[in-house]
Structure 1
Amino acid sequence: MTATTLRITADRPDRMHVALHRPAVRNAIDAAMVAELHVVCAELEAVPRILILTGSEGVFASGADIAELRDRRREDGLAGINSRLFGRIAALPMPVIAAVDGWALGGGAELAYAADFRIASTTARIGNPETSLGIMAAAGATWRLAELVGEPVAKEILLAGRVLNADEALALRLVTEVHEPGQLDAAANALADRIAKQDPLAVQTTKRVFHAPRDSHPAVDEQAQAVLFESPAKFARMDAFLAKRKRS
């Protein structure tokens, strides 16, 4: 695809690297970026691959584009412009890795919250300053963030403007790794490598079942396992394991 707000690399069959790229406005998320990310989602829904999301030039995303946000009205709020995109990203078949370098604020933070994995650089700063602008974080933070870091810290971020640095985010397990900025892309690819070693169908099924409603368990687990038990990859991988154990 041709994109103006993203830098897309898809030179490996198991992953796509998408860098948010509006450096003049610190990668603020505007309507064009939303539209282009929807196209990315459509491609990854059709051909499932791991998605690595990054920023560019030392910033992940400074939030929604305030110039656009200033003019949005009631109808725009009801349209869920960012929340529907981030929900689509969260629901992608294969895992999503957000590699956060520098500022991830507002909608940028909410985009990171929608990922399956978040890793950070030492310069990462993550927060939701929406209430200082007279609005709220309405693209997932009010519920995803509480699930990720717990209610007390989530309220500090959402209601009192707390911004987490990389060490705080790691201590709270909002991110699982912290690296120097120059090593962040390599770390994201190393994580993608570990995922790519697993059976893709098993990964996709596990992600789907992991996010299934609580009251659907254990039936949803059993139904999914029944499908995997008939998968050719299950037999091939288990045969290889047993052959290796026999040789050793």
Structure 2
Amino acid sequence: MNDAGTALDASAFVTLLVEERGDRLAVQLNRPEVRNAIDQTMVDELHAVCAYLERTPKVLILSGTAADPETGAKAIFASGADIAQLRERRRDDALAGINSSLFDRIAKLPMPVIAALDGYALGGGAELAYAADFRIGTSGLRMGNPETGLGIMAAAGATWRLRELVGEPLAKEILLAGRTLTGEECLSAGLITELVEPGALLDAAHALAGRIARQEPLAVRLTKTVFHSPREVHPLIDNLTQGLLFESAAKFDRMQQFLDRKKQS
């Protein structure tokens, strides 16, 4: 976990399990004893992951703890912020945006982020998932924002990301009435794009990462940036970015390969 170095030291993490491949980084939240509650240590370690991916762009896969039939432990993505720590936070902590700044950083990573969701994804755990570019879930997924029941609000992105993802009526039901969605309801609402069996969840996430990795990396990075740009900068930003890509060597190589395959078919 070295921000200044050139490689990610997976052995330095205590709340995350990290597996790195050539084109992706798989990060598992790993505090099962407290249902993967997001504490300050996890926040710091996820910032270190972001710092690495900002220097070395790769697809990020975020997952939680799988169910364990031997112990009876249930699957969990993240139950939210650590309530014991959250109870002691005051006004200045809220203004510091501890979770919101992290989730915004994750959303802005150069390459896409995939959230693989099983079990509870609640509160801050749900907001972490909302910050991803893709969400894949299981029928056992339970996603929602119960913050108002604890006397606070969902302040790490849910009040605006969730509205963009599922629309205002359902977003208000989740945020103001404490509705928790099942995996099937998440799929119906478009909050997840795929519903798979728990044992196939990570395979599905890696398959999606593989499809992304087959695209031209610079084109993916710039498309993500343009996609999230404010409406008022379009179409100028589209034209300027396309101009950059039109001059790239990868564009000429990939288009020539396409033409060569077409001649052979």
Considering the TM-score relative to the shorter chain, is it more than 0.5?
A: yes
1:221-236 maps to which residues of 2 (within 5 A)?
221-236=238-253
Tell me, which stretches of 5 or more residues in structure 1 are unaligned? none
Aligned equivalent of 1:167: 184
The equivalent position to 1:61 in structure 2, one of 64, 78, 99, is 78
Cα deviation, residue 122, structure 1: 1.5
Aligned equivalent of 1:114: 131
- Asked if 1:77 is matched to 2:94, the reply is yes
Tell me, which stretches of 5 or more residues in structure 2 are unaligned? 1-8, 67-74
* Aligned partner letter, 1:183: A
Aligned equivalent of 1:93: 110
Which structure 1 residue ranges, 4+ long, deviate > 3 Å from structure 2? none
| Root-mean-square deviation over aligned CA pairs | 0.5
Cα deviation, residue 34, structure 1: 0.1
Aligned equivalent of 2:5: none
Aligned length: 247
Aligned equivalent of 2:14: 4
What SS is found at the alignment partner of 1:126? strand
* Aligned partner letter, 1:109: A
CA–CA separation in structure 2 for the residues paired with 1:111 and 1:184: 18
1:210-221 maps to which residues of 2 (within 5 A)?
210-221=227-238
The equivalent position to 1:42 in structure 2, one of 51, 61, 73, is 51
Cα deviation, residue 199, structure 1: 0.2
* Aligned partner letter, 1:181: P
* Cα-to-partner distance string for 1:102-126 (whole Å, 9 max, x where unaligned): 0000000000000000010110000
CA–CA separation in structure 2 for the residues paired with 1:103 and 1:211: 28
What SS is found at the alignment partner of 1:70? helix
- Asked if 1:27 is matched to 2:29, the reply is no
Identical-pair percentage: 66
* Aligned partner letter, 1:27: N
* Cα-to-partner distance string for 1:200-248 (whole Å, 9 max, x where unaligned): 0000000000000100000000000000001000000000000000111
